[in-house]
Structure 1
Amino acid sequence: MISQYQESLLLPARTFQSGSMDTTYEDVLEHVDSGILLFDEEGVLTFVNKQMYGMLELNRHSLLGCTMAHLLSHIQLGRFKKKQVLRSYREMVQKGKQSYEFVDEYGRYWRASLCCGEQMKGSYLFTVKEISDYKLIEQTAYQNDSLAMLGKLSASIAHEIRNPLTAIRGFIQLLHPHLHQLGKEEYGRIILAEIDRANDIIHEFLTSSKPSVPQVSMIPVSALLKEVVLLTESEALMKGCQINLHPLHGDMIISGDVKQMKQVVLNMIRNALEAITERDDDQIGKIEVGARREGAEVRIFISDNGKGMDILTLDRLFNPFFTTKENGTGLGLSVSDRIIKDHGGCISVSSRVNEGTRFVISLPLIQ
C-alpha cells in the first residue's frame, strides 16, 4: 500500500509561493556539495539547490512547485535521469530504504539519501551526492585484498595444474617418432609449444600481483599474428566464425617477450570469439586481425562483430577480477594490459552494444 504522502508526491503540480524557507538556511543549503530536493507535507517541491538542478540539467523555476509526477513527466528531463529518479523514489519512498546508489550515464557513482519522519514534520528531504572517489578507493582496496589472497593460493594451485601438463608433455615427446612417420611432426611441435605457453599463462595469471620481467627478443609482427591466427582458426571454425588476417605492409619488428605478446593477442581473439557466440541473431561472426605503422609505433588491431559492451563495462574492463563471464576469472585483460605497459605500449578499446568491439595495441617499433 502507498501512503497518503506517497500519493501526494504523484499529484499534479501547483503554483509555488516563495518565502517558505528561512533565507539563512537557504543560503547554507545552496552551497553544500550535495544536491537537495525538499518536498512539503503535501508532496510539493518547495526547495531545490543549484547542485541538484545542475545534476538534473534543468532550471530552478521549472522545478519549484512540482510534484514527483510532474518532475517525471518534465519535457526537458532526460530519459536516463527520469529512470534514475523513478528508481530512487521506489527504493526509498515505497520500499523504505534510507539510501540508494546508482551510476549515471557518464559512469559516475551517486548516493541518494532520504530524511523524513517526525523530525521533518511531514516533509521529505532528498539529498544526492557523488561518491565516485569513494568507490575508486573501495575498489582499489578490494583489488589489493584479492591480489594478496591470490598470491597465497598461487603456489599450491600451480603445482596441481602443472603436474598433468608435465605428463602430457612427456607422452607427446614419446609419440614424436610416430608423428614423424605420419608426416605430422609439426602437430607435435605445436602441442609442445602450447603446453609450454599454458605453463607460462598459469604462472602469469596466478602471480599477477607480482609482475615478471619480460624475456626480451626481436619479434616480427607479421610472424606473431600469423602464428596466433593459425592457433585459433580451428576453434573459430568450430564456432562458425571467420578470422581474417589483413596483409601487413613492410617489416615491422618490436622488442619484447614473444610468449607474453602471444598470450595478449590470443586472449583478445578468444574474447572476440566468446562475444560473437553470445549474440542472439544468426549473423556470421567475423574477426579482423591486422597491424599498421603509425610513426614510430605499430598498431595491432583485433576487431569483432560480437555483442559489444556498454560504457559501464568499458570503464571497468581492465580492472583485476572484473568479468561479465559466468566462469571467468577477470584476470585476462588486466594481465594483458600490464604486459603491454611493461613493453612500453598501451591498449585502447572501443565498443558498441550489438555492433562489436575493437582493441588496438600500440607498441614502439625497432627502427
Structure 2
Amino acid sequence: MNGNKNKGVSLSLLSTTINNINKSTNFQTTAEIIFGFIKSFINFNMAVIYKINEKDNILEIVSCLGSDTEKLKKRMPFKVGEGAVGLVAKNKTPILINDVLVNKEIQVRQYCDEDPLIRSFLAVPLVVGDKAIGILSISNSQPEQYDDYDVQMINIIASQAAVLLELNNNITETQRFSNKILDNVNSGIIVVDKNCNIIKLNKSAESITGFKFEEIVGSNLLEEHLILDNEEKFLYKSFNEGKIYFEEPGIMIRKDEKVIRVRLSTSLMNDEEGNIKSCICIFRDNTEIENLQSRIAMSDKLEALGRLTAGLVHEIRNPLLPIRNASEYLLSKYADRDENDEMKSLLKIINEESERLNRVLEGFVNMGKNSFSSIGYCNLKEVVDEVLILLNYTLRKSDIKTRVSLTHDDIILPFYKDNLKQVLINFILNSIDAINLNEKSNQRLIAISGTQNTENAIITIEDTGKGIPKKDLHQIFDPFYSTKEQGTGMGLYVAFNIVKSSGGHIDVESSVEKGTKITLTIPLEGERRYEY
C-alpha cells in the first residue's frame, strides 16, 4: 500500500487539475490532464477510460496510457455487468482490488503478452446525474498499491471528466446528425475558410461538381469552377464586404469540364469576436429548369417569328422577283457572246443567289415543318469554292486569309446544296466577325478542312478570332441568342438544325483571345432526323 501520502500536495494538485479540466476544449485534452494527474499522484502501469455504449450494452475504449490504444479497441469489448469494469458500469460504484491474483471473486482480464501484468486494480464510474456514462480504470503490476483515499481522489477527478465526456458524446452525436442532414440535402454545400480553401462539402456537392472530398479539401478551386453570370468574385465579396448571395445565377465547370447551370446562395459564419471565419456556399443544379424555361420562351418566340416572317417574306419577294427576272434576261441576252465573261459570271451569281434566297425564304416560312430535311447530295469541294467566291469581297475587306485542305475532291454529303452553303456561310461569317474583334491576334486566318472515313465526313472551320467564353458555349445554338449588337441569333440555330437533320452533330472548341474550332461530323449514309 502507498504509505503516508502528502494530502496537502494531493489536494492542491487536485484543485489545479480540476481547473485545467474546466478549461479543456476537447475530451482528448481532458484525458491527457487526467492521466497527468494520476501519474503525479500515484504509481500505475496502465490507465484506461471507457465510455458506455447503451445501445450494444458494452464498454468502448476512449483513451489509454500504458498500452496501445488501437490494439485495445480491437479486442472483444467488455459487457456491462461482466468483469471488474463491467460491474462498475452496472453498479455505478468504485472497485478496489489489492491483488488481482489473490482475489477470486471479481475477474480482471489479463493480456500479459501486450499489456503490463495487473496486480493492483482500481476502477471508478464516470457519472452524470444518476447515469453512468463511462469508467476510469487504473492498474499496477505490484500488489497493494492503492487505498480508499486514492479512490476518493480519482472519484473526484472522474466526476469532472464525466461532464466533459458527456459533452463530447453530445457534440459527436450532434456532428454525426449534422453530417447526416448535410449528406441528405439535395443542394450542394461547400464550406470555405477565410483563405478561400475548401474545408467541407456534402455528397450532393460531390455529385454536382464531380469532385470527391479528398480531391479538393484544402484547395481554393471553388471560385475557379463556380462562376457567376455577373462575373463577381463572390468569395472576395463575402469575406471582405460581408455580402450575402441568394439564388444568384451562374455556371459550374465540373471535374469532367462539362458546364452546368447553377443557382448560388451563401451564408457567413463568425467567430466569437464577430469576424467572418467561413463562408457556406449552397448551390443547386438548375440546368434542367433553365432549359425548360428556355424551351418555353423559345416556343413563344418562334410562334411570334412565324407571324413576323410571313409578312417579311412577302415584302422581300416583291423586289426579289424583278431581280431574278432581270438577271435571267441579261444572262440570256449575253449567253452567246464571247466578251464580257466577268459580267456573265456576276450575272450568274446574282441569278443563282436570288434563287437561293427565294428558297431560304420558303424555308423560313416552313420553319418547324422539316424545312431543313430536303433530300439531296452535294460535293463538298464545289460548295466550299462557291461559298468562298460569295464571301471573297468580305474576306478581302477584312484582310482575312483562308486555307482550304480537303483530303478528297469527291466528298459527297447528304445535304441539299443550298443547305450546306447556308451552314458554311453562317459559320464563316461568325469567324470573320470574331477575327475583327480580336485585336490581340497577329494572324488573321480561317482554315477549312474536310476528310472522311468509312462512316462520316468531318468538316472543320477554325479561326483566330476572339473566342467564346466557357459560360456562353452551351447556348450559342439557341435561337435568338447573340452577343452581337445587330445579331438576330438565328444563324447558328439554323446551321445546327440543318446539320442535325442529316443525322450529324457539331462540336465546338474555343479559347478566349485564341480562336474557335467548329467540327461538323456528318454521316455519309444513314437516316436523316426530322425532329428538332
Q: Which moved more, 1:225-234 or 1:236-245?
A: 225-234
Does the alignment pair 1:182 with 2:340? Answer: yes
Give 1:10's aligned residue: none
Return the match for 2:486 from 327, 331, 334: 327
1:134 to 1:35, Cα distance in 2 relative to 1, 3 A? same
1:81 to 1:358, Cα distance in 2 relative to 1, 3 A? closer
- Whole-Å Cα distance in 1 between the matches of residues 457 and 291 of structure 2? 32
TM-score (norm 1): 0.75
**Would you say the 8 A contact 2:435–2:466 is kept in 1?**
yes
Give 2:380's aligned residue: 221
SS of 1:208 mapped into structure 2: coil
2:294 maps to amino acid: Q
Per-residue deviation, 1:38: 8.5
Per-residue deviation, 1:259: 1.1
Return the match for 2:324 from 169, 178, 192: 169
- Whole-Å Cα distance in 1 between the matches of residues 411 and 189 of structure 2? 58
1:275 to 1:248, Cα distance in 2 relative to 1, 3 A? same
TM-score (norm 2): 0.54
Structure 2 unaligned spans of 5+ = 1-24, 27-167, 193-198, 269-273, 527-532
Q: How many residues align?
A: 330
**Relative contact order (C-alpha < 8 Å, sep 6+): which is higher?**
1
2:376 maps to amino acid: S
Per-residue deviation, 1:83: 6.9
SS of 2:356 mapped into structure 1: helix
- Whole-Å Cα distance in 2 between the matches of residues 75 and 49 of structure 1? 12
**Would you say the 8 A contact 1:288–1:302 is kept in 2?**
yes
Return the match for 2:470 from 291, 303, 311: 311
SS of 2:391 mapped into structure 1: helix
Per-residue deviation, 1:27: 3.0
**Would you say the 8 A contact 2:374–2:415 is kept in 1?**
yes
Larger radius of gyration: 2
* Superimposed CA distance per residue, residues 144-173 of structure 1 (whole angstroms, 9 cap, x where no aligned partner): 221122122221121122222223323334
Give 1:112's aligned residue: 264
Per-residue deviation, 1:299: 1.6
* Superimposed CA distance per residue, residues 28-63 of structure 1 (whole angstroms, 9 cap, x where no aligned partner): 343111234789xxxxxxx96624774596859x98
Q: Which moved more, 1:337-346 or 1:208-217?
A: 208-217
Give 2:224's aligned residue: 80
Q: Which moved more, 1:185-194 or 1:29-38?
A: 29-38
1:221 to 1:109, Cα distance in 2 relative to 1, 3 A? closer
Per-residue deviation, 1:211: 2.3
Return the match for 1:146 from 276, 291, 301: 301
Question: Cα RMSD over matched residues?
Answer: 3.7
1:103 maps to amino acid: I
**Would you say the 8 A contact 1:88–1:100 is kept in 2?**
no
- Whole-Å Cα distance in 1 between the matches of residues 191 and 452 of structure 2? 58
SS of 2:253 mapped into structure 1: coil
Per-residue deviation, 1:135: 1.5
SS of 1:217 mapped into structure 2: coil
2:247 maps to amino acid: S
Structure 1 unaligned spans of 5+ = 1-15, 40-46, 64-73, 117-121
- Whole-Å Cα distance in 2 between the matches of residues 305 and 98 of structure 1? 39
- Whole-Å Cα distance in 2 between the matches of residues 361 and 111 of structure 1? 32
- Whole-Å Cα distance in 2 between the matches of residues 314 and 82 of structure 1? 15
1:351 maps to amino acid: S
Return the match for 2:360 from 195, 198, 201: 201
1:115 to 1:206, Cα distance in 2 relative to 1, 3 A? farther
Does the alignment pair 1:99 with 2:258? Answer: no
Identity across the alignment (%): 25
SS of 1:104 mapped into structure 2: strand
**Would you say the 8 A contact 1:298–1:365 is kept in 2?**
yes
**Would you say the 8 A contact 1:56–1:81 is kept in 2?**
no
Per-residue deviation, 1:195: 1.4
Per-residue deviation, 1:134: 1.3
1:126 to 1:221, Cα distance in 2 relative to 1, 3 A? closer
Return the match for 2:311 from 129, 137, 156: 156
